[in-house]
Structure 1
């Protein structure tokens, strides 16, 4: 069967032009928030980083966390140093992870993350609760604009991350946190 498939010659097709009118949003932050909340995330607009630090202190998932990894220690002191981990299996008990996102995408509420400060990127997917900080000025309308701003060759690893993990594969019952974080909170620093 595979030999038959290999014999079939599919004529080459030209790639579609990317030079077109893409969907844009007058208020990108508002659209980002709308989509993030529709997929189960929490959007927290803030004026400054002190507001983030204060909010983090009130979050039950932070208060109850036994293992906290923070890549923004001035906002939240973690109690586990990601840089000291050699075996990624040691990250299994991470309850809360805080990091900065590089840019956000309004059309799907995705946030671009790289391994710039992350020794083990698995922590993005194994933590129970994830929080990210982005600047409103970095939110673009669509994925086309996002790819114009990022360099995929700049870092060995990059990913767009959106919302808490969820699946409805089994009996069409929605399960949050099935394959990753059970919650995602995005702090958006509004530009003043």
Structure 2
């Protein structure tokens, strides 16, 4: 006797049972991809053009020193740091069970795997985040990226990712922004007001 199933589940089961062949991916001619003489300089320019700010540093203590000179950091009350060796925090997000309790975060300090010079974006692996909302709910963000891992373009970025495991990850480029109203660019409209990036 066939067990009773809901119609939606039956449809989904039938779909999963079919092996659908999709079109082959195009072959990318690597000689036509955009590359730069100095990817790090281009990354800094691209990031600045979308509202972010980059700092090239030589010592880890410089991250905290530079942030401390920013008034909104010096006056911050709630800082969640996922890189405590660089910047101490006073909110341990790993102990927070309800992400809604992070709504009053002033700053989040995160780490990025690599940057992309083409558009100033940074890949942040979700496994480094106790809660993915941290990147979007904090008033301000700082991301620490290895300066040796600045790639030329998004093709190289996706090649570096390979086939990602299921889960969360995101390319971040600058702070939150919108230009829906009168085509006037507004930063911090939906989330992070300002992004500081430290190339270490």
| TM-score range for the pair, normalised by the shorter chain length | 0.7 to 0.9
How is 1:1-192 mapped onto 2 (pairs within 5 angstroms)? 15-21=25-31, 22-154=33-165, 156-189=167-200
Counterpart Cα distance in 1 of 2:99 and 2:170: 19
Cα deviation for residue 154 of structure 1 reads 3.5
Q: Deviations over 1:73-97 (max 9, x none)?
A: 1222111110011111111111101
Task: Tell me the SS of whatever aligns to 1:116.
Answer: helix
Cα deviation for residue 115 of structure 1 reads 1.6
Conserved? CA contact 1:61–1:96, under 8 Å: no
Structure 2 residue ranges without an equivalent (≥5): 1-21
Runs (4 or more) in structure 1 with deviation over 3 Å come to: 12-15
Range that drifts further, 13-22 or 165-174: 13-22
Cα deviation for residue 42 of structure 1 reads 0.7
Structure 1 residue ranges without an equivalent (≥5): 1-11
Q: Deviations over 1:130-188 (max 9, x none)?
A: 10111111000011111111244246111110001111212333221111200000011
Query: What residue in structure 2 maps to residue 9 of structure 1?
Result: none
Conserved? CA contact 1:67–1:96, under 8 Å: yes
Which has more radius of gyration? 2
CA RMSD of aligned residues (A): 1.6
The count of aligned residue pairs is 178
Task: Tell me the SS of whatever aligns to 1:130.
Answer: strand
Task: Tell me the SS of whatever aligns to 2:131.
Answer: coil
CA distance 1:150–1:14, shift in 2 (3 Å): closer
Q: Deviations over 1:28-50 (max 9, x none)?
A: 00000011111111111111212
Conserved? CA contact 2:83–2:111, under 8 Å: yes
Query: What residue in structure 1 maps to residue 5 of structure 2?
Result: none
